[in-house]
Amino acid sequence: MRRRAGVGAIQKQKLEQEKYREKGSEIQENQFQQMSKQLEVFRENLEEFATKHKNEIKKNAQFRRQFQEMCAAIGVDPLASGKGFWSVLGIGDFYYELGVQIVEVCLATNYKNGGLITLDELRSRLVAARGRAKKHQDITNEDLLAAVKKLRIFGNGFTVINIGKGKWLVQSVPGELNLDQTLVLQKANTLGTAWISSSILTGDLGWNETRAQNALNYMVKEGLAWIDTQDSTETLYWFPSMFAECVSA
Amino acid sequence: MDRFEYIEARLFEGENYLKREKNVKIYDGDDKTQYVDGEVVLTTHRILWGKPGDIPKGLTCLSLPLYYVFCLEEESGGVFGLGGPKRIILHLGPALPGKRPGPAVVSPYHFVKFSFKDGIDPLFYKALSDAVNAKAWERSTPLTSPSSESAVTSSRPPVAPVNSKIRSGIVGIERSIEEQHRATDESISVAFQDLRKLMEKAKEMVSISKTISAKIREKQGDISEDDTVRFKSYLMSLGIDDPVTRDTFRSDSDYYVGLAQQISDMMVAVLMDCGGIMSLADVWCRVNRARGLELISPEDLLNACKLLQTIGAPMSLRKFPSGACVLQLNSQRDEEVARSTSQLREENGTLTPVKLSQLANVSVLLARERLFTTERLGLACRDESIEGLAFYPNLFLTKA
DSSP secondary structure string for all residues of chain A: -PPP-SHHHHHHHHHHHHHHHHHHHHHHHHHHHHHHHHHHHHHHHHHHHHHHSHHHHHH-HHHHHHHHHHHHHHT--S------TGGGGT-SSHHHHHHHHHHHHHHHHHHHHTTEEEHHHHHHHHHHHH-SSHHHHT--HHHHHHHHHGGGGGGGGSEEEE-STT-EEEE-S-GGG--HHHHHHHHHHHHTSSEEEHHHHHHHH---HHHHHHHHHHHHHTTS-EEE--SSSS-EEE-GGGHHHHHH-
Identify whether A213 is part of a domain.
Answer: yes
Q: Which domain holds residue A198?
A: 179-248
Same domain, B253 and B373: no
- The answer to whether residues B125 and B18 belong to one domain is yes
Mean pLDDT of the region B239-264: 86
Based on the domain organization, do A98 and A164 belong to the same domain? yes
Q: Do A32 and B352 touch (CB under 8 A)?
A: no
Question: So what's the pLDDT on residue A246?
Answer: 65
Boundary (domain end) residue, out of A46, A74, A102: A74
* B346-378: pLDDT as tens digits: 888 888 888 888 888 888 888 888 898 899 888
- Is B369 in contact with A103 (Cβ distance < 8 A)? no
Q: Please answer yes or no on whether A75 and B170 come within 8 Å at the CB atom.
A: no
Residues B354 and B284 reside in one and the same domain = no
Looking at the fold, whether B345 and B379 belong to one and the same domain comes out as yes
Nearest chain A residue (CA) to B365: A176
Q: Do B320 and B341 lie in a common domain?
A: no
Is the residue at B306 inside a domain?
yes
| DSSP string computed for B277-308 | EEEHHHHHHHHHHHHTT----HHHHHHHHHTT
- Which B positions 331-390 lie with beta carbon below 8 A of chain A? 352-354, 357-358, 361-366, 369, 386-388
**Which range, of A111-115, A157-161, B145-149, averages the lowest pLDDT?**
B145-149
Q: For CA atoms A12, A13, A17, A23, give the dihedral sign.
A: positive
**pLDDT (0 to 100) of residue B322:** 78
- The reply to whether residue A28 touches residue B97, judged by beta carbons under 8 angstroms, is yes
Question: Do A95 and A158 fall into the same domain?
Answer: yes
Report the 10 Å Cβ neighbour count for A190: 9
**pLDDT tens, residue by residue, A91-109:** 667 888 889 999 999 988 8
Task: Give the model confidence (pLDDT) of B283-331 as tens digits.
Answer: 999 999 888 888 898 999 999 999 998 998 899 998 887 788 889 898 8
Q: Domain check: are B380 and B269 in the same one?
A: no
Per-residue burial over A119-148, b = 16 or more CB atoms within 10 Å of its CB, e = otherwise: beebbebbbbbbbeeeebeebeeebbebbb
pLDDT in tens, A25-75: 888 788 888 888 888 888 888 888 887 888 888 788 788 888 888 888 888
What is the model's pLDDT at position B165?
44
Predicted confidence at residue A84, as pLDDT, reads: 64
Residue count of chain B: 400
Q: Is A236 inside any structural domain?
A: yes
Pairing mode, if any, of strands B277-279 and B315-319? unpaired
Computed over every residue of chain B, the mean pLDDT equals: 80
Helical pair A94-113 and B280-291, crossing angle rounded to 10 deg: 120
Please check whether residue A82 lies inside any domain of the structure.
no
Residue A79 lies in a domain: no
B237 within domain boundaries: no
Query: Chain B neighbours among A 197-236 (CB < 8 Å)?
Result: 219, 222-224
Domain count across chain A: 3
Report the pLDDT value the prediction gives residue B284, as an integer from 0 to 100. 93
Collect all residues with Cβ–Cβ distance below 8 Å to B258 and sequence separation of at least 6.
Answer: B244, B248, B249
Whether B316 and B388 share a structural domain: no
Strand partners, B329: B315
**B295 and B365, same structural domain?**
no
Asked if residue B127 and residue B12 are part of one domain, the reply reads yes
**Same domain, yes or no: B101 and B24:** yes
* Closest chain A C-alpha to B266 CA, distance in angstroms: 16
- My answer on whether B295 and B372 are in the same domain is no
CATH of residue B287: 1.10.10.10
Does the CB of A78 have a partner CB in chain B at under 8 Å? yes
Whether the predicted pLDDT of B249 surpasses 50: yes
Residues A146 and A198 in one domain: no
Same domain, residue pair B65 and B44? yes
User: Whole domain around residue B257: which residue ranges?
Assistant: 246-328
Q: Domain check: are A204 and A132 in the same one?
A: no
Q: Is pLDDT at B83 greater than 70 in this prediction?
A: no
Q: What is the pLDDT of residues A171-218, one digit of tens each?
A: 888 877 788 888 888 888 888 888 899 999 999 888 888 889 888 988
CA-CA distance, B346 to A31, in Å (whole number)?
61
Task: Write down the ipTM of this complex.
Answer: 0.78
Instruction: Give the Cα-Cα-Cα angle A133, A135, A137 (nearest 5 degrees).
Output: 85
Concatenating the DSSP letter of every residue in B145-156 gives -HHHHHHHHHHS
Among B328, B347, B363, the domain-final residue is: B328
* Local confidence band at B166 (pLDDT 50, 70, 90 cut-offs): very low
Tell me, yes or no, whether A183 and A168 share the same domain: no
Between A145 and A134, where is the model more confident?
Answer: A145
pLDDT at B160 over 50: no
B215 touches chain A (CB under 8 A): yes
Q: Residue B24: name the closest of B124, B92, B157 by CA.
A: B124
Helix (H) or strand (E) holding B342: helix B334-348
Q: Please check whether residue A80 lies inside any domain of the structure.
A: no
A154·B358 Cβ contact <8 A: no
